[in-house]
């Protein structure tokens, strides 16, 4: 079927469309009910189906004669290691580690937090949880102890899985002290903590609570996959919202598995046996969907890369990995290639490597700026495909449907809505806008399979954030427009979420930290444009009367506080003392205007502003 036909059917007859796509996976009990409306707002997919996601990712390939194929390649320039696991080998390790978890009392429905670096055991941990029907929640290693504690209290895990350290280029970061601090801080206490000892650092184990990963695995028996209902949760993944409290996006098993299998073909054009590399981290949704589940459910070889696009050891790192492992499809964030381009503008490193295996490069996670698009296309001669999605959706809302026929890419556009997503541009009142006009990007309900089924433990936040603002639609939080030819352009968030090096962060959360400094009376954190990372946060701070602290001292303290509280990944490095903050008469800080001033863009002075002269003061401050 052509893209047009496929899209039309998915919108007009979603049940037939997804019933057909559900046949792509191996169900324990195939679903009879395809789409069910559960209430005014929510729907479920494949309600009466039964399956096991780990079975699809591993056992199914053994049954189908793919056991000897490489499932996972671990490539770690930071340790100088490379390791390959066939489907048979990965299956054996996962089945045994699932046994180890079961021995520690983990069963179906229990939550398990995984706080790990990019090593094979992180993937094994996720799959072992899925095998037992336990719900994993992976926390990105760049988050500080406080962030981990917040997630421990929200997910109330039975167990935490971690490693003794992560490695950031040449910096070894001990993880266990962070985990210990988080457990101390959290009200909920997990029953145990299982620690993988890496050779760079030996973690201290607390008697009775902490266990050595290798010992537990060595003494465990393999266990079989536990069938779960399609609507049972597979994982919780926390993402930033507009408040300080992260949202636990819940993904179910059935819809997710179907969406993963379908999107690997549609969006990436990946076939069983292809070598697929998502250069991201298992702590982000890209890692969940396209390092682990998508490629493995499809029978691809997936690459787990413990390194950076530059400095490990140089800007040729990505090309080296492609050449070494004959990568067919590469997916990363635009910021990674901005970093490569900055260090190697002529792409000289490409001369050292044979990247002829590579068929296309996919980019997402932030806006793909046309200069990066042009550079990458010119230097590689490959199709460069932008696609737009979110932690919430788990797979591309808009893409270039390369699996069923590539469309002519347009720089700056994520191309067309994926089948299943009825994308509309609405104005502030929720009315449809004309082609070419910029507004709120919304998706008419129901969302397709694989999208979030809720926010963990907080149904009212789920409804309020996503489903209530635009009745009948999912509110994406992104702004954009659709052009005359139906191409979708995503222009950025309409809320206080910012995107730093492809990482989604909440300015509201940073504001809470900055505001807690004893000298700070009021503050505002905004994202300003950055050539490399897309955006960087900057704090505008109003001091308390009588506070005498110097700017540099305050800035150092605030930077340290944000690192301590949220983590280095926030990249909060600048704060500015101001005399006043621009506000509406009702007291709301005019963040959008501040952002425009900081980026040197034109802005209109809102009629609701309390005192317009403040804007001139702020402009002067930014100029200096």
Give the residues lining the site for ligand COA (CB under 6 A). Answer: 141-142, 166, 168, 173, 280-281, 284, 286, 308-310, 333, 335-336, 339, 365, 501-503, 568-569, 571
E-assigned strand segments in 256-315: 275-278, 301-305
Binding partner of residue 478 among ligand AMP, ligand COA, none, CB cut-off 5 to 8 Å per kind: ligand AMP
Which residue's CB is nearer to ligand AMP, number 401 or number 477? 477
- Least distance CB 233 / ligand AMP (angstroms): 18
- In DSSP notation, 448-504 reads PTTS--EETT-HHHHIIIIISSSTTEEEEEEEEEE-TT--EEEEEESSSEEEETTEE
Sign of CA dihedral 595, 597, 600, 604: positive
Going by C-alpha positions, the residue among 329, 414, 323, 303 that lies closest to residue 367 is 414
Which of 56, 364 has the CB closer to ligand AMP?
A: 364
CB of 532 to ligand COA, least distance (A): 6
If one asks whether residue 490 binds ligand AMP (CB under 6 A), the answer comes out as: yes
List the single partner that 158 binds among ligand AMP, ligand COA, none, CB under 5 to 8 Å by kind: none
Beta bridge partners, 535, equal 529
By beta-carbon proximity to ligand AMP, the closer residue of 192 and 490 is 490
- Is 595 a binding residue for ligand AMP by CB under 6 A? The answer is no
Q: What is the DSSP string of 383-422?
A: -EEE-B--TTTSS-SEE--GGG-PPPP-TT--BEEPTT-E
Looking at the Cβ atoms of 132 and 399, the one nearer to ligand AMP is 399
The distance of Cα 383 from the centroid of its chain, to the nearest Å, equals 23
Is residue 292 a contact residue for ligand AMP (CB under 6 A)? no
In the complex with ligand COA, the residue whose CB is nearer, 390 or 415, is 390
Q: Does residue 213 contact residue 196 with C-beta atoms inside 8 Å?
A: yes
Interior angle at CA 176, CA 174 and CA 179, nearest 5: 125
Dig out the tokens for 265 from the structure.
Answer: 């073909």
Q: Which of 21, 93, 387, 595 binds ligand AMP (CB under 6 A)?
A: 387
Element (H, E) at 27: none
440 near ligand AMP, rule: CB under 6 A: no
Interacting residues with ligand AMP between 233 and 272 (CB under 6 A): 239
Nearest to ligand AMP of 121, 366 (CB atom): 366
DSSP 41: S
Please tell me whether residue 278 binds ligand AMP under the rule CB under 6 A.
no
Give the CA angle between residues 26, 31, 35 to the nearest 5°.
125
Burial of 156: CB neighbours in 10 Å, binned 0-12, 13-18, 19+ = middle
Tell me if 391 contacts ligand AMP by CB under 6 A. Answer: yes
Q: How does 364-403 read in b/e, with b if 16+ C-beta sit within 10 Å? A: bbbbbbeebbebbeebbeeebbbbbbbbbbbbbbbbbbbb
Provide, rounded to whole angstroms, the least separation between the CB of residue 178 and ligand COA. Answer: 9
Of the candidates 318, 437, 324, 326, the one whose C-alpha atom is nearest the C-alpha of residue 379 is 318
**Shortest Å, Cβ 570 to ligand COA:** 8
d(CA 337, CA 373): 9
Which two three-digit tokens encode residue 152?
């421990």
CB of 270: closest distance to ligand COA in angstroms?
17
Nearest-approach distance from CB 417 to ligand COA, in angstroms: 21
Interface with ligand AMP, residue 386, by CB under 6 A = yes
CB of 515 closer than 8 Å to CB of 522: yes
CB 489 within 8 A of CB 480: yes
274 binds, among ligand COA, ligand AMP, none (CB under 5 to 8 A by kind): none
Give 312 or 440: the residue with its C-beta nearer to ligand AMP.
440
Between 311 and 493, whose beta carbon lies closer to ligand AMP? 493
By C-beta, is 372 or 440 nearer to ligand COA?
372
Please report, as residue ranges, which positions from 466 to 485 form the binding site for ligand AMP (by CB under 6 A): 477-478
Least distance (Å) between residue 443 CB and ligand AMP: 12
C-alpha 272: how far from chain center: 24
- Say which entry of ligand COA, ligand AMP, none residue 232 contacts (CB below 5 to 8 A, set by partner kind): none
From 90, 194, 285, 525, residue interacting with ligand AMP (rule: CB under 6 A)? 285
- Choose the stretch contacting ligand AMP; rule: CB under 6 A; options: 161-169, 228-236, 324-332, 387-395: 387-395
Per CB under 6 A, residues contacting ligand AMP are 239, 285, 364-368, 386-391, 414, 477-478, 490, 493, 499, 504
């Amino acid at each position: 079927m052509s893209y047009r036909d496929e899209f039309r059917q998915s919108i007009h007859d979603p049940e037939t469309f997804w019933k057909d796509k559900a046949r792509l996976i191996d169900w324990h009990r195939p679903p009879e009910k395809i789409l069910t409306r559960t209430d005014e707002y929510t729907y479920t997919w494949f309600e009466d189906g039964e399956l096991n996601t780990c079975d699809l990712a591993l056992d199914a390939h053994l049954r189908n004669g793919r056991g000897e194929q490489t499932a996972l390649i671990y490539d770690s320039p930071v340790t100088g290691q490379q390791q390959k696991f066939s489907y048979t080998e990965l299956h054996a390790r996962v089945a045994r580690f699932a046994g180890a978890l079961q021995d520690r009392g983990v069963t179906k429905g229990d939550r398990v937090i995984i706080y790990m670096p990019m090593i094979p055991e992180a993937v094994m941990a996720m799959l072992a949880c899925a095998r037992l029907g336990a719900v994993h929640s992976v926390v990105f290693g760049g988050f500080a102890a406080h962030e981990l504690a917040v997630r421990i209290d929200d997910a109330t895990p039975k167990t935490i899985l971690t490693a003794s350290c992560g490695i950031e280029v040449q910096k070894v970061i001990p993880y266990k002290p962070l985990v210990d601090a988080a457990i101390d801080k959290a009200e909920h206490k997990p029953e145990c903590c299982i620690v993988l000892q890496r050779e760079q650092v030996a973690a201290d184990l607390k008697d009775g609570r902490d266990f050595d990963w290798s010992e537990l695995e060595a003494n465990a028996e393999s266990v079989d996959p536990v069938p779960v209902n399609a609507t049972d949760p597979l994982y919780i993944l926390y993402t930033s919202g507009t408040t300080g409290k992260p949202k636990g996006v819940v993904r179910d098993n059935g819809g997710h598995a179907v969406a993963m299998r379908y999107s690997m073909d549609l969006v990436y054009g990946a076939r069983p046996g292809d070598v697929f590399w998502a250069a991201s981290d298992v702590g982000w949704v890209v890692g969940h969907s396209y390092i682990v589940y998508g490629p493995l459910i499809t029978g691809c070889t997936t690459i787990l890369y413990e390194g950076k696009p530059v400095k490990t050891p140089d800007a040729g790192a990505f090309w080296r990995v492609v050449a070494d492992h004959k990568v067919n499809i590469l997916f990363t964030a635009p910021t990674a290639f901005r970093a490569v381009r900055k260090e190697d503008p002529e792409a000289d490193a490409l001369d050292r490597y044979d990247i002829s295996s590579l068929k296309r490069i996919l980019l997402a996670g932030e806006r793909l700026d046309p200069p990066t698009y042009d550079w990458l296309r010119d230097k590689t001669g490959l199709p460069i495909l932008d696609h737009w999605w979110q932690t919430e959706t788990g797979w591309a809302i808009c893409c270039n449907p390369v699996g069923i026929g590539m469309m002519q890419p347009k720089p700056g556009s994520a191309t067309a809505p994926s089948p299943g997503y009825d994308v509309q541009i609405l104005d502030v009142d929720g009315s449809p806008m004309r082609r070419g006009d910029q507004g709120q990007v919304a998706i008419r309900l129901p969302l397709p399979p694989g999208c979030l089924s809720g926010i963990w433990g907080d149904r009212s936040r789920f409804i309020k954030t996503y489903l209530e603002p635009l009745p009948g639609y999912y509110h994406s939080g992104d702004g954009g427009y659709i052009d005359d030819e139906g191409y979708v352009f995503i222009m950025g968030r309409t809320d206080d979420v910012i995107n730093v090096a492809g990482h989604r962060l909440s300015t509201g959360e940073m504001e809470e930290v900055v505001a807690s400094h004893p000298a700070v009376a009021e503050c505002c954190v905004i994202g300003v444009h950055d050539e490399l990372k897309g955006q960087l946060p900057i704090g505008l701070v109003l001091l308390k009367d009588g506070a005498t602290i110097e700017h540099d001292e305050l800035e150092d303290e605030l930077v340290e506080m944000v690192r301590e509280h949220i983590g280095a990944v926030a990249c909060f490095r600048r704060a500015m003392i101001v005399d006043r903050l621009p506000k509406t008469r009702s007291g709301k800080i005019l963040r959008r205007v501040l952002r425009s001033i900081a980026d040197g863009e034109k802005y209109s002075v809102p009629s609701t502003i309390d005192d317009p002269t403040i804007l001139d003061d702020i402009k002067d401050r930014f100029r200096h």
